[in-house]
Amino acid sequence: MPIKVPAGLPALQHVIDEGVGIDILEKASPKTLHIALLNIMPMKETTEADFIRLLSSSDEEIELTLLKLDTHTPKHAKPEHMERYYTSFNSIRERRFDGLIITGAPIEKIEFEEVTYWPELCGILDWAKSNVTSTLFICWAAQAGVYRKFGIQKHLLPAKMFGIFPHTIAKPELPLFDGVEDIIYVPHSRHTALCREDIVAEERLDLLSESELSGVYIMQEKGTRDFFITGHSEYALYTLDGEYKRDVAKGLPIELPLNYYRDDNPANEPVNRWQATARKLFGNWLRHYCK
């Protein structure tokens, strides 16, 4: 269905150039879902393209607003890009949104209170309670969300969780999982994790999907439409490939991403195990939880 993004956004053209068929929404209508993306990933345009690719594949008409933090200046984004295409949180405080997506950030090893924009992020979470119908917390944001809401701490892993992991679904009857297979594959790329014991002990959380290898994946705050997602279902096909080859080139300790390359050979193409499921999950989120 049609999607409306900030005029001239390069990521939209990038996705179109990939061969993805996208209808452009010129003007919002009463049926348009208003979705905000708080993008705190370092490579802004890559993340923009990831979510445009997913959201535009749904059956819903969407207007996407890109949000930036007022207390943080990204190191890897051009100031003119942020100024032209992003909206500051302070300027949308009085608005309501059907959905909010908060991305991950490569700051897992930093204590939450030591993150420079932690106070502002906490303020956004408080604002979202009464101004957003449904919020998706992705990767680091999922860890930050369950810490802020429930006091559950993240834990450092002995090695990076890296690859494509199989997950089971605990509540397949939920609308979020309409049309989704019993076993789903999800990319993970992180150095920290949430302990399953902490999640199941918290009576305000439902554990919806997990993996024996990569741990908890999707959690929902009971009585709300808010979801905490520890993986990166939005990742493009070659994202993990880029991360792996970057770290190898830098001489950093990095294992081959699990279940990713055909025959586990980095000279081969990645195997696309997750994107069809990602489209279903995000489409179900928009259809069943953002209205």
139 is catalytic: yes
234 is catalytic: yes
What percent of the residues of the chain are helix, what percent strand, and what percent coil, each to the nearest 5?
35, 25, 40
Q: What is the DSSP letter of 162?
A: E
Q: Report the candidate in 112, 126, 95, 211 with the shortest Cα–Cα distance to residue 155.
A: 112
**What token pair was written down for 147?**
């810490």
Q: Report the candidate in 3, 230, 15 with the shortest Cα–Cα distance to residue 103.
A: 230
Residue of 61, 210, 232, 290 with catalytic role: 232
**What token pair was written down for 190?**
């992180």
Phi, psi of 31, deg, nearest 5: -90, 0
Neighbours of 95 (CB within 10 A): 12
Tell me the DSSP string of 230-282. Answer: -S-TT--TTHHHHHHHHHHHHT---PPPBTTBGGG-TTSPBP--SHHHHHHHH
Q: Report the candidate in 231, 185, 240, 191 with the shortest Cα–Cα distance to residue 46.
A: 240
Residue of 34, 139, 188, 221 with catalytic role: 139
Alpha-carbon gap, residue 218 to 183, rounded angstroms: 13
Neighbours of 192 (CB within 10 A): 17
Neighbours of 154 (CB within 10 A): 23
Amino acid making up residue 224: T
Alpha-carbon gap, residue 170 to 220, rounded angstroms: 12
The residues annotated as belonging to the active site are 139, 232, 234
